[in-house]
A and B are shown apart, each in its own frame.
Chain A
Amino acid sequence: MAEMMYWQAILRAHDEELARDPLVFAMGEDIGVAGGTYKATSGLYAKYGPERVIDTPISENSYTGIGIGAAMLGCRPIVEIMSVNFAWLAMDQLMNNAAKIHYMSGGKIRCPFVMRVPGGTAHQLGAQHSARMEKVFMGISGLRVVTPATPRDAYGLLKSAVRSDDPVVLIEHESMYNLKGEVPDEEFFTPLEGVKVMRPGRDLSIFAYNISVHWALQAAERLAKEGVEAEVIDLRALKPLDRAGIAASVRKTHRALIVEEDEAPVGVGAEVMALINEDAFFELDAAPVRVHAKDVPIPYNRRLEKAAIPNADDVVAAAKKLLGK
């Protein structure tokens, strides 16, 4: 078991898949010669050449479409969009083509396409570089959406995404690329469906994903010192959501808290709450609570930016409120 950073785990998954299958290729802006904005493809251009590690022009919609077209003929492209904010420009190809081709061809054409997108609020990047889009992706039939919280999952989810015959959007985080964690040396695959229990507990369930898993874990640590045993669930797959896994945890703790970095409207928290209502309403001892970003474009100013995004303190406070403490 080696300790490695999030970006190194992504790089390793790329490298193994490129080495294994000549129809795997990577494309995106500055991923080749420059090695990738977050180093996640560094060294691959030299190793696999310009036909398989492709520096694209700044044409998000069309290089996404080129990846989709290649996938329809059996290639397995990994398309990196430099920042999730730019994925809006690729939504036509992603939503109208990748997500729908298998269905509207009556199952006759597969689209094993992977899109990797770093998102989230990093450090004072301003409103057009700090937004998230999971609420958009997870609302689209035909897509799979996964989001790793650890280097281990960054590796395992990308491996599974490349092997999947469905289109997969993999959401990373701009300020998590240097996060360190243990990754097993042998090859492994993280399932594209299902929640992961990060920390078992009995008093409340904290549902989180990607960076908010870390806030939830920090909060759980602090709550434990006050005798509160929080169960931390990494949703990990946002589409399809593991409704059975969510309900199972609620059945155990009878209290639910959802933590997301995004603003609340029409978001992950709203969806998880709806599932809890549908599947485990009578198990609840209190109304579920959301912790989320303020409903504003993310501001530049450091203090305002911090105030817009939730943190572990907010999670602790919400948990106490939920427990009536």
Chain B
Amino acid sequence: MEASDRKRLLREMLFARRFEERCAQAYQEREIGGFLHLYPGQEACAIGVLEKARKGQDYVVTGYRDHIHAIQCGADPKEVMAELYGKETGSSRGRGGSMHIYDVDHHFMGGYALVGGPFPLAAGFAKAIKLRGGDEIAICFLGDGANNQGTFHETMNMASLWKLPVLFVCENNLYGIGTAIERASSEINQYLRVAPYKIAASQVDGQDIDVVMAEAEKAITHVREKREPYFLELMTYRLRGHSMSDSGAYRSKEEVEQWAQRDPIGIYKKRLEAAGIIDAAAFQAMDEEILEQIENEIVRFALESPEPRVEDLERYVYVAEGA
């Protein structure tokens, strides 16, 4: 990979981190309401996998922790932030909120609040792709907890049976809110759970973006060329609470600190420094430039955008005639 691309990837991860931290701040300032699930610690997963996908062409879906997945597909961060602020300029015109970001132009087909709900949707995208005859694929990002839903088993069965071109990415962060994986899943290795459905699967480190990209490339090639599903499990960890209302009481300080040592941004930054691609000063400058962009472009856009009009409350319940 070219040095410039590696630098870009580092910037994308750092941007994701700063974007989410800024969301947390806005939440504390009560600019953002509702539930807010942030991504710090897991950046290498979405960014690494989507780096190997055809961004804007392959169809992507995920759960409620969706800001970064949307942005990596090509969604404008200004519109994502405006959505969190509930504005008419938001990606879902302020009707969706943090858990329901959409960018249909870039084939980001949504964030969904019901755990396990997106599994069949992704298989449905793959079914549509198959009927239309394209070579795109569907990519579904969900957590480890989602695999305990019926939709997981039902969808794995049908995706395999009908040879649907869909990549399931399991971001295994070891917890479903406050319940540790070994207390919820009789088999803790999630990639083993699709074996009965005859779906190819693997498990790799989700904190090292180089590892993620290498495995994602294999997985995506498998789905795209064989036109059948693949299940990729990425071992990761969220450094913040599940959502803004998480006490964190269920995991030890030591555990969090241990994982902080494996921060995906730290790992990649060190590697790029060793390769002479970036130095401390350049990283610092990159960070400042990101913070400036977030503040002056993104947050400003969200703040200055208009609210939806109350007269439009009932718009979009149905597709308007002639629309």
Chain A residues near B100 (CB-CB < 8 A): 104-105
A25 within 8 A of B: yes
Q: Mark A20-43, 1 if CB is under 8 A from B, else 0.
A: 001101000000000000000000
Report the bound CA distance from A300 to B239 in whole Å: 57
A66 B155 Cβ-Cβ under 8 A: yes
Listed stretches A106-114, A219-227, A228-236, A271-279; interface member: A106-114
| Contact across chains for B124 and A66 when beta carbons are under 8 A apart | yes
Q: How far is the CA of A268 from the CA of B132 in the complex (A)?
A: 40
Q: Does A51 contact B (CB under 8 A)?
A: yes
Mask, B104-125, CB within 8 Å of A = 1, is 1000011011100101111111
Task: Please measure, in the bound complex, the distance between the C-alpha atom of A105 and the C-alpha atom of B93, giving whole angstroms.
Answer: 7
A162 shortest CB reach to chain B, Å = 14
Nearest Cβ on chain A to B157's Cβ, whole angstroms: 6
Does chain A have a CB within 8 A of B281?
no
Q: Is B173 an interface residue (CB 8 A)?
A: no
Q: Is A68 an interface residue (CB 8 A)?
A: yes
- CB-contact partner of B127 in A66, A97, A104, A107, under 8 A: A66
Interchain CA distance A25-B132 in the complex, whole Å: 12
Residues on A with beta carbons closer than 8 Å to the beta carbon of B157: 57, 59
Produce 1/0 per residue, B153-190, CB < 8 A to A.
01101100110000000000000000000000000000
Q: Tell me whether A62 and B110 are in contact in the complex, defined as CB-CB below 8 angstroms, given that A69-B124, A102-B318, A106-B95 are known contacts.
A: no
- B contact residues around A61 at 8 Å (CB): 120, 150-151, 154
B158 with A57: CB separation less than 8 A: yes
Are B92 and A62 in contact (CB-based, < 8 A)?
A: no
Q: How far is the CA of A242 from the CA of B252 in the complex (A)?
A: 59
**Tier of interface size on chain A:** 35 or more
Candidates A66, A71, A72, A142; contact of B158 at CB < 8 Å: A66
Which chain A residue lies CB-closest to B152? A62
Q: Decide yes or no whether A56 CB sits under 8 A from chain B.
A: yes
Interface residues of B (CB under 8 A from A): 59, 61, 90-96, 100, 102, 104, 109-110, 112-114, 117, 119-132, 138, 150-151, 154-155, 157-158, 161-162, 315-319, 323
Question: Which A residues are closer than 8 A to B by beta carbons?
Answer: 22-23, 25, 51-52, 54, 56-57, 59, 61-75, 92-93, 96-97, 101-110, 141-142, 144, 165-166
Residue contacts A-B, CB under 8 angstroms, 26 given? A25-B131, A52-B131, A54-B162, A62-B150, A63-B154, A65-B155, A66-B155, A68-B124, A69-B124, A70-B131, A73-B124, A73-B128, A73-B129, A73-B132, A74-B128, A75-B127, A97-B114, A102-B319, A103-B316, A105-B95, A105-B100, A105-B110, A107-B319, A109-B109, A144-B318, A166-B318
